[in-house]
Chains A and B, each alone.
Chain A
Amino acid sequence: MTSLQSTLGEEGIAEELADNQRAISIAEFFEKNKHMLGFDSGARGLVTAVKEAVDNALDAAEEASILPDIYVEIQETDDYYRLIVEDNGPGLTKESLPKVFGKLLYGSRFHAREQSRGQQGIGISAAVLYAQLTSGKPAKITSRTQGANEAEYFELIIDTDENEPEISVEETTTWDRPHGTRIELEMEANMRARNQLHNYMKHTAVVNPHARLELVEPDAHFKFERATDQLPEETEEIRPHPHGVELGTVIKMLNATDSHSVSGFLQEEFTRVGKKTAESIIDEFRDRHYGRAMRWKPPGAHEPGDIQATVEAATVNKGAEATTAFATEIADAVSSRDRIAHHELAGIVENVGEAVGDEYGTTFGSTVRENAIEAAWETICGHEEVTDQGTDDGDGQQALDEIGEEPDVSRLVTDLYGISDAATSTRKDDEVVHAFSVRLAGTFEDLEDTRHRLTHRELRKAIDRAANLTEEYDDVAFGDTARENVTEAVWNVMATVPDDPPLVRELTGDRDASSDLVEGMRATNIMAPPTRCLSPITDELVEAGLRKEFDADFYAAATRDAGVSGGDPFIVEAGIAYGGDLAAEGRVDVLRFANRVPLVYQRGACATTDVVKGIGWRNYGLDQPGGSGLPNGPAVIMVHVASTNVPFTSESKDAVANVPEIEDEIELAIREAARELKRYLNKRRSMQKRRQKQNVLGKILPEMAEKVAEVTGREQPDIDDAVARIMNNVLVERHREDDDSSVKLVVENHSGTAESLEITDIVSAEPANLSDGASAIEMDGEWFISWDVDVPGGEEATLEYDVPDDATFDLDVKGVDEEKLTITA
């Protein structure tokens, strides 16, 4: 997070503003931050105010499952602009109303993990504040709750010192809407950003096909009608996902939770965390907070080091038999293990102590047990031998030499040698690995904590130290890969300790421990968050929205499956409109949306634009000069990112940040829609060619036939069959002999594929003896005879009926592209 975002992000702006910044007035804060909030100029301020008010209105109506009907009016008064936004939402209660409009950062969605238009609670109140600061006039709000007899009218100003709304006027009034809210703001503004305003409204209509919008300007009036009566699916709020929270948030959550244990806290406050996942997170936390305990190989039968003897020697006053049994069983239990950590040894000693104590009617108290553990651990680690040899000779130099020459001198060295040798490349000299192991063993022996606990970071440090010394003294390379491999090998041998994690209240005061917990959460594999908190528009409605607002020849849309980025689920949708009335000159339009809100400014900074530019559009049939950048042509490309937390580049929410997971999905969504575009364009091109060919041949062949007839002195030949064959066409021909009542319709399919035709012959006299199950329907003295015919490629079908010979006909054929059809009837 940048510092900018951490000032305003959810991490703590509320607290900071509330607790620390009382001295700074909200007006001052606004003045300083208005560029980030989208109010940096009069032109833009008006657009932003409309945007915030409309977003709010849409949210209000949808939350109450009402199809939104929103009216926006901009009036030019003498000195200011007046903005009026009305919705048909549920209305606001007297209590909440001033807070919604008048208090910065008030909002139900501030912490909610749910897709919604507004998130920060800044928007509409910032507009109110902007209006107040520029015009000095209060916000005029009318609201009527469902079923209320009368509407309530308020005039509201914000006390900029206290960030508290103040209601100056409060009265009841009449209003023609049965329920809803109306806000009227006067502000310093201008209409220079009219284009953006129109785009915003039009694009809002595209992604909200269920909403009816109206915009009235001093000299223009726009209406955007509904394309569907289907409300967006209701979203459900979800708890945060462990992968998506920051340390500050976690500290806040720890302060607020009712849980005592960390496990309970994790399960209560986060989504997708059950008992098992909580345990995994706590294990990760333990590894980070307490470190892992080294597990050493216990001495084998052939090795020196007799656990039984040392334990027996360390145990006093317990009677010979009991002592022996105690020592023997400990020794047996230890040697039955492949490796053993200090806490595992402690567990064995405790169990054996209890069992043997019961058997022999004595008690192995904590002192005795501790002595036994110490004695056994020292034997396992081989402390004594090393020290003994060193001190016996009284000569450090010789001790060192012996370490160098005699590999068995320390059990730890042998153990570490085994691990390191397996983890490093076979080309490493035995001597080198051995020297390294000696130095690494030294670290363990020197540890203050004789239980040999190290965090991953500490372990790596120890290994770096040993490796550096080895490089220095033995003049060999001990590279990063080798260090890494050894670190992982040792780490994998080490055991997570069983220590109880701190309680929640202990964690709250311990920033480091909390940080370890957050890291642990990140490191744990956790199921992706549920997506019921998201409400995509759906590809169908994306297409309907485009169809509604753009008069094009072709539409395609794609909705991707949900993805996850930083613990927040997201869904990307894309749509493309092509051809028709869209401007053929210049770049295509890219419409960007986040949570159903059009993004109007900062197009160049948006991940969406970057992705569109990065796609090779030539491949999809669009012109793209230079093979990259925005393509040219009569097309609109729209992208909608829906997420519980859309990552914007700034608080004015104009551009989606470049998050790789989201960019990937944007690309896939666009490509999905673009593939359909390509199919359409290919087909169109081949139809165009076919049309051209048909046009030319349609001219040449009759002329050729005419000439041939002339040269041979015969009558004009019939060329329809030949033409149909050349065009791989479907030919429908009427055969009728003079003075004959029978009519034949011959369908010849000259293409390579089967064709299904709907043939309707409209006849002026009543037909009889209809073939192929056709039926005749009379309407106003005309008979409609309809057949459904399937004709395989290269074959023909004949349809017959009888009709008086003075009848006239009108043949209609459907089911075959016009370009592929030749009718001679």
Chain B
Amino acid sequence: MSTDTDATARAQLIDLAAQFYDQFELGEIPHMELPTRSKTNIELDEEANVWVYGDRTSTRSANSVRGARKLLKAVYTIEFLADQLEQDRSSTLRELYYLSESWDNKEAQFNDQDESNQLIEDLEIVSEVTREDFHMRPEESGATIMGPLFLREQTRRGDREIHCQEDVGEGGYQIPNNPDTIEFLSSDAEFILCVETGGMRDRLVENGFDDDYGALVVHLKGQPARATRRITKRLHDELELPVTVFTDADPWSYRIFGSVAYGSIKSAHLSEYLATPQAQFIGIQPSDIVEYDLPTDPLTDSDINALENELTDPRFQTDYWEEQIELQLDIGKKAEQQALAARGLDFVTDTYLPERLEEMGIF
């Protein structure tokens, strides 16, 4: 949290307001241009091997009532962020949403939190400053790490050195909002295992999987927060640990893997910073459903839709994914991670994961 970054971030924001000012003065319709945030406008950055926005842009312009409202809100938000940086305060996305209620102008207030979240993302992209540098935090995601890792975290109460097995409780080490404040001291870990559901994470910890296999168990808690993805990337990059992702076998879970590995469509402007292209998918794969004869649920219409959507998503256009998704559409079934319990509580740690990890060449 250097004052330098703060000053730069603030200057960038004010620049943006100045742009609107100049547009007014020139008799132009105030507007800002953003990359189109849809799956048809993401492309693979060959160098970094992550998915980033393509060339297509859309314009937020005061041409329409809707557009004008958006820009008005943007200006109000810019003012708020600039003030916040000046006073070295921070706030959460949710706080921003409620804070807008206190603005003198009703037209500038947000209708829902999606709107304010999206606006912050817009400002990130246009000003090329991450929201962490705006001092905007997400709500605690509660994502955790459990495993043989020793680190130092800068907190408001000073530096803390923490071992992610010995110094933490059953819940594990809580990932902070800005993981860049963490320094990794040492690690005995062999690999990283990102787990989608809390139930499975607890099962692995209870069964001592982290100890037995040298696994850093990262709990994703559904769609992973930026901090979770960032720390995963740093662990991979700095400790050179292979990253594996373990989720349910349904289309929504594949997207979780996608955002860990390739970056999400919403934050493709930060892919380079958040995505770990080397991440590998453990499962549960559709082929596992067949192979292990797991208990299943039928695919719903929206599942099928999502799967078909993924077939056209550039991030999933690999032989592996096409084969798996088509197989799943074919069998018309999905399965949860917990379905493995049908073979006994230890099946996942004794059989399934070791087999899969071996197949994937992790050990």
Chain A interfacial positions (CB closer than 8 Å to B): 692-693, 696-697, 699-701, 703-705, 707-712, 714, 717-719, 721-722, 725-726
Contact = CB atoms under 8 A, between A and B. Distances in A.
A722 B76 contact: no
Which residue, of A708, A709, A714, A721, has the highest number of chain B Cβ atoms within 10 A?
A708
B1 interface: no
Contacts of B28: 722, 725
Given A721-B27, A722-B30, A725-B29, A703 B105 contact: yes
Interface stretch (B14-22, B133-141, B209-217, B308-316): B14-22
Contacts of A722: 23-24, 27-30, 62
B69 A712 contact: no
B293 interface: no
B79 interface: yes
A161 to B, nearest CB: 82
A717 B107 CA distance: 20
Contacts of A711: 14, 17, 75, 78-79, 82
B339 interface: no
Interface of B: 14, 17-18, 20-21, 23-30, 62-65, 68-69, 71-72, 75-76, 78-79, 82, 105, 107-108
Contact of B68 (A701, A709, A714): A701
Candidate in B27, B75, B78 with the most chain A CB atoms within 10 angstroms: B27
Nearest to B83: A711
A704 B20 contact: yes
Nearest first, the 9 closest Cβ-Cβ pairs linking A and B are A721-B27, A717-B24, A711-B17, A707-B75, A704-B72, A700-B68, A708-B21, A696-B65, A717-B25
Contacts of B30: 701, 704, 722
Nearest to B64: A693
A700 B14 contact: no
Nearest to A695: B65
B65 A693 contact: yes
A701 B270 CA distance: 32
A697 B23 CA distance: 16
B107 to A, nearest CB: 5
Contacts of B29: 722, 725-726
Nearest to B17: A711
10 contacts: A693-B65, A697-B65, A699-B107, A704-B62, A707-B72, A708-B20, A709-B21, A711-B75, A711-B82, A726-B63
Contacts of B26: 721
B24 A719 contact: yes
A698 B29 CA distance: 13
A55 B175 CA distance: 96
Contacts of B24: 705, 708, 717-719, 722
Contact of B14 (A696, A712, A726): A712
Nearest to A704: B72
Nearest to A692: B65
B127 to A, nearest CB: 13
A707 B79 contact: yes
Contact of B18 (A712, A718, A719, A725): A712
B71 A704 contact: yes
A693 B69 CA distance: 12
Contacts of B79: 707, 710-711
A116 B201 CA distance: 98
A181 B62 CA distance: 72
B27 A725 contact: yes
Given A697-B68, A708-B17, A718-B25, 10 more contacts: A693-B65, A699-B107, A700-B65, A700-B68, A700-B107, A701-B62, A703-B105, A712-B18, A717-B24, A726-B29
Given A711-B79, A712-B17, A704 B27 contact: no
Contacts of A696: 65, 68
A236 to B, nearest CB: 62
Nearest to A714: B21
A361 B149 CA distance: 150
Contacts of A701: 30, 62, 68
Contacts of A703: 72, 105, 107-108
Nearest to B80: A711
A712 B63 contact: no
A716 to B, nearest CB: 9
B95 to A, nearest CB: 20
Contacts of A726: 29, 62-63, 68
A393 to B, nearest CB: 90
Contacts of B108: 703
A726 B28 CA distance: 9
A759 B17 CA distance: 37
Contacts of A697: 62, 65, 68
Contacts of B75: 704, 707-708, 711
A700 B67 CA distance: 10
B277 to A, nearest CB: 39
